[in-house]
Structure 1
Amino acid sequence: MLNRVANTIYWMNRYIERAENYARFLDVNFNLALEMPPSVAEQWQPLIVATGDWQAYTDRYGGVEKNQVIYFLGFDPENPNSIFTCISNARENARSVRSEITKEVWEQINYLYYFVKKGNEKERWKKKDPRKFFRKIKDGCQLLYGMYDATISRNEGWHFAKMGRLVERADKTSRILDVKYHFIVSSSQILGSPLDMVQWVALLKSVTAYDMYRKTNGRLTPMGIAAYLLLDPEFPRSMYKCLIQAERSLQSITGDVEHPATAELTRMRIAMEQTNVEDIFAGGLHEYIDQFQQNLNRASSLIFTSFGAVNTIIQETSSQNQ
């Protein structure tokens, strides 16, 4: 497979996964804001911090206000990580590799693009309750995943797509865990309170993990929830499970366990197998997540230099527009 095609498929799926996660985060955070007691301020700043967009947000807006946050993360065309931008980029990438995907996949990406574009034009972020809009984005992305898995042959392209989705998913699960860390820092007085558990439950729901966690573990505890999202070997959005599946797809492509990118994912997986949640908390949850994200970025860079060391269609388009 050509490097350009592989890289474009990889990033097309990362963009879709990122858009779906942002839609979920906004939906869940909106629900959490409604559940907060009147005396507790709405927590929108930790959401921006956890997505890694805090500096870009403050440079443009300064103070934190709910509608501004929803617009910035959901609709802002100048934010390279907003839902609108990610869906637009995914569509352009899909268009450039149209021959590598199916009609069903293309039509669903196209539908998502026009759905979000229409929401942007209608200024959905100003609506009193935008949750239905974000849920439709999430559902549309999940339908796309199903179409991709049901209609694409298990060839190199499929593995690049899956790898992109899994790398992005691991990153976003780690970041939503970091949201809880920022809640703790900003509101340490709520530790151990009913409100503390409300936030942990919201964290589970933000990665659609609540039902499966209760079936697997029953009792809700902060340590149990963190362990589930960090280290569970079966839940598809746990950081550990994402690494296992990404490593397998990369091995299917390279056929070489000593390939630099494969070796980095393997090293991360083994490190997670050799730790436990007690050790993670003892060393600091935020510090562990920060190191995980650095290692994951290193693995992603190795994937890029190995298979996609050319400009994607989005990068080419962006440079032409500058």
Structure 2
Amino acid sequence: MLSRVANSIYWMSRYLERADNVARFIDVNARLILDMGWERESAQWDPLVLASGDEADFKARYSEYSEKQVVHFLTFDEKNPNSIISCINSARENARTVREIISSEMWEAINTLYHLVDKHSRKRKVDDLQSFFISVNHTNHLFAGMMENTMSHGEGWHFARAGKMLERADKTARMLDVKYFLLLPNPDYFDSPYDTVEWGAVLKSVSGFEVYRKRYHRANYRHVTQFLVLDEHFARSIRYCVRTAARSVADISKMLEITVPVNDEFARLEKMLDEADLDTILSKGLHEFVDAFQFNLNVIDQSLYKSFFALERD
């Protein structure tokens, strides 16, 4: 497989996962506002920008963390490369260049998302966009099913899976880090019904609420951190995502019959997660743990580029 094709498939998958996560975060935050009974004007919208990692860009072009401005920035701002509209446009462009590799069903699903965004792009209130966010999530689920069932599970499929899982791990880490920072220091909320509702919202943002409740009685920072960082079986936990991405990259290496340094980088990150335990993470600081994790993700992303995307391979 040519490196440009592999790169396009990888980023097609990452951009779709990124758009899906942004839609989840906004929709869950809007519902949390209703559950908490907050006034719309004083509701928290800044955590969504912090979780996206685009705080500097937002502050340079927007005046306040209001619902209208945050929703526009994250949803329809074409100058923001990580907004939903930008991600879906980028995913579609990458998919267009590899139409001979992906299935026609996958292409149609991406086109559906593209036209869905265009249809809703003039809306500014989150209440008017909740059906849109749900549609983005559902279409991404549909795309994932089509990728699983209509695409050959060769190099291209593994690149797509690796991209999706690395993006998912990054967004799970960011959301947990931001919410932990905002919720834990508040003595009025600690171990209260409010605390439970807000940690429940974190779980809902990664579609993990029902799975979590089957294992734990109530949502609290310790159990949520354990579940989202170290759980071996939940499909959006950091540990699961890294392991799955690592397996796909290892399989690609075997198919190409090459040895690449990125496999060693994955091994180091997996070891870090395997040796981690909840008490150590919390005592040393979750934020510090997430910083170290994201540094390693960046190292892996750069190593992936050098290993597979920088040079043409037949």
Measured after TM superposition, the shift of residue 160 of structure 1 is 0.3
User: Which residue does 2:4 correspond to in 1?
Assistant: 4
User: Which residue does 1:320 correspond to in 2?
Assistant: none
Counterpart CA distance in 1 for 2:311 and 2:197 is: 45
Conservation of the 8 A alpha-carbon contact between 1:67 and 1:126: yes
Counterpart CA distance in 2 for 1:45 and 1:220 is: 23
User: Which residue does 1:18 correspond to in 2?
Assistant: 18
Name the CA shift for 1:258/1:200 in 2 (closer, same or farther; >3 Å): farther
Give the TM-score taking structure 2 as reference length. 0.94
Measured after TM superposition, the shift of residue 198 of structure 1 is 1.1
Conservation of the 8 A alpha-carbon contact between 2:52 and 2:174: yes
Stretches of structure 2 that go unaligned for 5 or more consecutive residues are none
Name the CA shift for 1:59/1:244 in 2 (closer, same or farther; >3 Å): same
Name the CA shift for 1:125/1:182 in 2 (closer, same or farther; >3 Å): farther
Counterpart CA distance in 2 for 1:230 and 1:259 is: 27
Measured after TM superposition, the shift of residue 310 of structure 1 is 6.8
Conservation of the 8 A alpha-carbon contact between 2:20 and 2:136: yes
User: Which residue does 1:165 correspond to in 2?
Assistant: 164
Instruction: Summarize the alignment of residues 109-120 of structure 1 with structure 2, pairs less than 5 Å apart.
Output: 109-120=110-121
Compare 193-202 and 161-170 and name the one that shifted more.
193-202
Give aligned pairs, total. Answer: 309
Measured after TM superposition, the shift of residue 192 of structure 1 is 2.6
Conservation of the 8 A alpha-carbon contact between 2:180 and 2:221: no
Q: Say whether 1:209 aligns with 2:208.
A: yes
| SS of residue matched to 1:22 | helix
Measured after TM superposition, the shift of residue 33 of structure 1 is 1.3
Name the CA shift for 1:187/1:42 in 2 (closer, same or farther; >3 Å): farther
Instruction: Give CA deviations for 1:211-236 in whole Å, capped at 9, x if unaligned.
Output: 11111334433211110000000001
Q: Say whether 1:66 aligns with 2:51.
A: no
Name the CA shift for 1:9/1:222 in 2 (closer, same or farther; >3 Å): same
Give the partner amino acid of 1:78: K
Counterpart CA distance in 1 for 2:272 and 2:228 is: 16
User: Which residue does 1:304 correspond to in 2?
Assistant: 305
Compare 300-309 and 77-86 and name the one that shifted more.
300-309
Give the TM-score taking structure 1 as reference length. 0.91
| SS of residue matched to 1:216 | coil
User: Which residue does 1:271 correspond to in 2?
Assistant: 272
Counterpart CA distance in 2 for 1:36 and 1:257 is: 54
Counterpart CA distance in 1 for 2:225 and 2:8 is: 33
Measured after TM superposition, the shift of residue 305 of structure 1 is 1.4
User: Which residue does 2:100 correspond to in 1?
Assistant: 99
User: Which residue does 1:318 correspond to in 2?
Assistant: none
User: Which residue does 1:77 correspond to in 2?
Assistant: 78
Measured after TM superposition, the shift of residue 185 of structure 1 is 7.0
Conservation of the 8 A alpha-carbon contact between 1:46 and 1:182: no
Measured after TM superposition, the shift of residue 258 of structure 1 is 6.2
Name the CA shift for 1:310/1:181 in 2 (closer, same or farther; >3 Å): farther
Stretches of structure 1 that go unaligned for 5 or more consecutive residues are 312-322
Counterpart CA distance in 2 for 1:49 and 1:7 is: 28
Compare 215-224 and 103-112 and name the one that shifted more.
215-224
User: Which residue does 1:252 correspond to in 2?
Assistant: 251
